[in-house]
Amino acid sequence: MSTIREIKDGALFDVLDRGIVYTEALGWLDMGHARGNDVATLKRQFVEGELSGKPSYSVMYRQDMGVLKFKSRLGVGKFSHWEIKRGRSTEDINRIMLAMMMNTASRFEGLQSLRSFSWYTDSGFSGEDLVSDLFGFYRAIIPGRYGYRLKPVSYDSAVRRWDYYGAIGSHKNRGFRPILFPDPQEPCVQHQPYTVNLPHFMTWLRPWDDFASGVVKVITNDGTSLSFMGAKL
């Protein structure tokens, strides 16, 4: 769950790998989600599979969180496990990865929304999470500097929004479209959050939806992972 202490100045947008930033194009972004490391890890599985020489190969995408309870750390997450027919084009691979990410991310946010975790986090479907995941996906498949596209705002401007509208975790978003929060100092707009369409660079790819051709075989679409480790005292 994001807190006001995590807010960063938008001038640092293209070099941040943690914290949260407010942008004029996508609203709040969690820069941890937006790194795209999870997508890069998934992409390596496709590359290895395509080079394997086997008729098909397995890929797995997962999202996890750690919860500290009773002096132990509980790791819990969601994953998708699919089998892919070898011989996929770059476009096929990107579409399949997008479908895996969107499926798993939505289920992971649902997991965090369960009453079992409500004592610990308000992060389930927090307004920035799914949008940050989607931005991280495109950032991973087309690396570059995106600050000029998204127009991140200054630290003071971001804090004004947080103070006026409240924590982003209190604004739930079950889809991948951004929620924008107008600057409270802007006199000519209505000061209410509103949902907008994604910019074009985040809509040109359609998630894979052909599950009847045999190209993609779903092994697990709603897997849950658990791990335990002792906490350091």
Number of Cβ within 10 Å of residue 21's Cβ equals 28
For residue 66 the two structure tokens come to 């750690």
pLDDT above 80 for 113: no
**Bridge partners, residue 38, by sequence:** none
Give percent of the chain above pLDDT 90. 77
pLDDT above 90 for 102: yes
How far apart, in whole angstroms, are the C-alpha atoms of residue 173 and residue 109?
10
Mean pLDDT score, 127-145: 95
Mean pLDDT score, 150-167: 97
Number of Cβ within 10 Å of residue 214's Cβ equals 10
Mean pLDDT score, 134-151: 96
The most confident of 24-28, 74-78, 168-172, by mean pLDDT: 24-28
Q: Note the pLDDT tens digit of each residue in 15-44.
A: 999 999 999 999 999 999 899 999 999 999
pLDDT above 90 for 66: no
Residue 115: the pLDDT is 54
pTM for the predicted model, two decimal places: 0.89
Q: What DSSP character marks residue 127?
A: T
Residue 151: the pLDDT is 97
How high is the mean pLDDT of the chain? 90
For residue 140 the two structure tokens come to 């991973």
Coil, strand or helix at 106: helix
Q: Note the pLDDT tens digit of each residue in 208-224.
A: 999 999 999 999 999 98
